[in-house]
Structure 1
Amino acid sequence: MADLPFGFSHGDDPDRDKNKKDSGGPSDPFGFGAGDMGDLGQIFTRLGQMFSGAGSAMAGGGSGPVNYDLARQLASQSIGFVAPIPAGTANAIADAVRLAETWLDGSTALPAGTTTISAWSPTDWIDHTLDTWKRLCDPVAQQISSMWTSALPEEAKAMAGPLLSMISQMGGMAFGSQLGQALGKLSKEVLTSTDIGLPLGPKGTAALLPQAVEEFSAGLEQPRSETMMFLAAREAAHHRLFSHVPWLSAQLLSAVEAYAQGIEIDMSGIEELAQGFNPASMADPAAMEQLLNQGIFEPKATPGQTAALERLETLLALIEGWVQTVVADALGERIPGTSALSETLRRRRASGGPAEQTFATLVGLELRPRKLREAAALWQRLTEAAGMDARDAVWQHPDLLPSSEDLDDPAAFIDRVIGGDTSGIDSALADLEKQFKDDPKDGSESS
């Protein structure tokens, strides 16, 4: 895992194992011996005094593992003044999406999925996507927060009392602080509501962010109008999938949740907690965030996470590859720069653009469709071999979708879709059945 959630570091301390041994090991998270509960009580008293000055900062912060009120406040502050979007710009975006829908009708069997077309400011993007970010960030934040309590012996939990709740609140402030800073940065860089491949905004709402689109267009050779049309078509194509493939959004978000919930944390540096607090600065959430960034925790990748990550990356590649295929077919003869724009976005994703970097920081995984080229090639070849209707019918059920292995060998998948290899399968099954009938005991040994 290249990036760790909420800014946690790997804690690459060469003396860490030695320190753990000298301080009592992982079962003694505060570095005290088994008989030093009196000293531990003094530590809790000291921490309680440190936290007493932070009450006003925690007031009204909301409940849960992340303080989203603080996140929204900090994101808004980082955005600063937002000028109203001119009516002409909003109308141009609406016209582009409607025209894109008309062109897409001839390139996909899935009907239009947009019910609302919007031009979003960075503040609008935060307001309309924060609920989804809550679902994405809560599992990992909850997992991390629970370690504060689970790592303590029962006697320590009894001594801590209300302090544990205060620590949880401060953790929520720290997570909220980092989320707010990240979303504030990301809100000024995303181009559309589906820019990172996830349905972050409301269902059926196609939205472009004109400020970011303008900055993105400035560095390209294509005219701004073509870039706007291209992005509108991609946004509309995404919503066709998310609106008319009912299981897709849930499957995407569930894969992210499964990855986050699988995080395991080694409490290797927890003793620094008692030494790292500065009483004079605890009213500032940044102080807690700084402590969390010192390598106190070391997340470990688990088999469940690895499987969830592979499912997520494959599904993202299939979505992006399908969108690229239908948009290229819809715009190819109408917008000369379609191919170049597609390659620009592909490289932006592959190199870990701002969206991918921010997502990696917040949720702890790199949101990259690593096999996007392969997925686009598979959809294109399937379209040529079986037609548009057969291609889009694959989205009817998740079990019908190509696997990661199919992206490496698209010919076999295409044969299955068009029925090219069914006789071979039937023959193999018939041979196997015959072997068991002829000799049930030895059938499994025959080949």
Structure 2
Amino acid sequence: MSLISVPAVVGAAREVMPPGRLPEPSAARALVSDLREAADTATDLVLDAMRLPSDVEDTARSRLALGDTRVVDRLGWVRANAETFAGLLGGVQTPGGSGMFARVRDRAARTAASAELGGALALVGPRVLGQFDPFAGPAGVLYLVAPSVAEVEEALGVDPRDFRLWVALHERTHHVQFAAAPWLADHLRVRIDGLLGTVLGGSGVAPVHPSSPGEGLLDTLRALPRALAEGESLLDAVAGPGQTALLDEVGALMSLLEGHADVLMDTVGRKVIPGVSTIRRAFEARRRSATGLKAVVSTLLGVDEKIAQYARGADFVRAVVRDRGHAGLAAVWESPEHLPSAAEIAQPRLWLDRLPRPERT
């Protein structure tokens, strides 16, 4: 029996997460339509800005066509992430065994784990405006969370259509990143699996010594709300020295993905969104934690929740673009060996020196 029940996760989140206020029906329909249109519009805008080689762009467009875009409410986002987490944790089962006691114990473990995960997602959910999930469907799913978008644009006092396109640009950039690098989802998943060994009480865990993987997951999930509330990194608390290199590798990748998306949303935004500077200033004043893809991965893995990770990744992208343009940056999507390390994120010149300048054509 799997340790995670998707309906139980959703039920637990429903109890504690504010659903968000949607506008009246006609305005709600316009919001959904605008978000879908913004996501479609963002595709060409992002591809044009990324300056991918023609063969890579063709591959990316083919994979983008296999993906999906969904406008959801907050519970829809929770359900989607519960399904993804259940997949990532697919190898974690209840302890098993026969007899009435074993069945009762297994049901209790499943209920507790699902409730803890639901509570953790409920804590993060209201902050998430959109997300690209590379592990969903045949080629990923882009989610836009309508109530949260409406709530934030009203709170910021920005033009709704501009803000919706700006959000869509960020999330579509993630979609294009994984479409341009078909190997990237598996690359990330392998490293998540490695870190889950720590989270579940495997090799490298210092303070937690569970008698089963299920108990390790429960200990981790119970620590999540406190870690998030206090701005702590969960893995910093549970990971031993043996996990440092893997943690740095995932952190560098997340910095690249999020920093690149931030740069693209503003680079493109300056051309097509008149109020992009106002939106950015207002949003930065509000932003205190990760959103989108990073919110999902780092919520579970505790990968540096501080906004500095966005800034480091964005600084790396800007430095490479200044030196070689977006076409030169496109080398990062060619192979895992071309991804920047944590040291290269901090010092972009190291990456520039390691990767040869592309030949002019």
Q: TM range, normalised to the smaller chain?
A: 0.7 to 0.9
Partner of 1:258: 194
Q: What residue number does 1:392 align with?
A: 330
3-state SS in 2 of match to 1:406: helix
Q: What is the CA RMSD across the aligned residues, in angstroms?
A: 4.0
Q: 1:367 to 1:243 in 2, by over 3 A?
A: farther
Paired position in structure 2 for 1:126? 78
Partner residue in 2 for 1:96: 38
1:169 and 1:240 mapped to 2: Cα distance?
Answer: 40
Q: Aligned partners of 1:213, 1:73: CA distance in 2, in Å?
A: 23
Q: Which of the residues 265, 289, 293 maps onto 1:352?
A: 289
CA shift in 2, pair 1:183/1:255, >3 Å: same
- Alignment map for 1:35-434 (pairs within 5 Å): 63-78=1-16, 86-108=28-50, 109=52, 110=57, 111-112=60-61, 113=64, 115-137=67-89, 163-194=101-132, 199=134, 201-202=136-137, 203-262=139-198, 263=201, 264=205, 300-339=238-277, 341-342=279-280, 351-352=288-289, 362-363=300-301, 366-367=304-305, 370-419=308-357
CA distance in 1, matches of 2:351, 2:19: 51
Find the aligned partners of 2:271 and 2:19 in 1 and give their Cα distance: 40
Aligned counterparts of 1:342 and 1:137: Cα–Cα separation in 2: 36
Distance 1:166 1:193, change over 3 A: same
State the Cα distance separating 1:165 from its structure 2 match.
Answer: 4.9
Greater length-normalized contact order (CA 8 Å, ≥ 6 residues apart): 1
Q: CA deviation at 1:246?
A: 1.2
Number of the residue aligned with 2:232? none
How far apart in 1 are the matches of 2:307 and 2:134? 15
Q: After TM superposition, give the deviation of residue 185 of structure 1 in Å.
A: 4.6
Equivalent position amino acid for 1:133 in 2: F
Structure 2 stretches lacking a partner, 5+ long:
212-220, 226-236
Q: How many residues align?
A: 320
Contact 2:70/2:144 (<8 A) preserved: yes
**What percent of counterpart residues are identical?**
20
- Paired amino acid for 2:188: L
Q: 1:311 to 1:367 in 2, by over 3 A?
A: farther
SS of equivalent to 1:352: coil
Which structure has greater helix proportion? 2
- 8 A Cα contact 2:19 2:75, kept in partner: no
Distance in 2 between the 1:86 and 1:370 partners? 35
Q: Distance in 1 between the 2:354 and 2:256 partners?
A: 17
Instruction: Give a deviation string over 1:390-414, Cα, whole Å, max 9, x none.
Output: 2112211111111111122212322
Going from structure 1 to structure 2, the CA distance change for 1:324 and 1:81 (only over 3 Å counts) comes to: closer
Q: CA offsets, 1:172-195, max 9 Å, x none?
A: 21111112233345444421123x
Paired residue type of 1:395: W
C-alpha change, 1:179 and 1:250, in structure 2 (3 Å) is same
Give the 3 Å change call, closer, same or farther, for CA 242–344 of structure 1 in structure 2.
farther
Asked if 2 retains the 8 angstrom alpha-carbon contact of 1:313 and 1:369, the reply is no
Structure 1 residues without counterparts, runs of 5 or longer: 1-62, 150-156, 271-288, 294-298, 421-447
- What's the CA shift string for 1:15-66, capped at 9, x where partnerless? xxxxxxxxxxxxxxxxxxxxxxxxxxxxxxxxxxxxxxxxxxxxxxxx2223
Larger Rg: 1
Rounded to whole Å, the distance in 2 between the matches of 1:250 and 1:342 is: 32
Q: Note the 1:15-26 alignment, pairs <5 A.
A: none
User: How far did 1:340 drift?
Assistant: 5.3
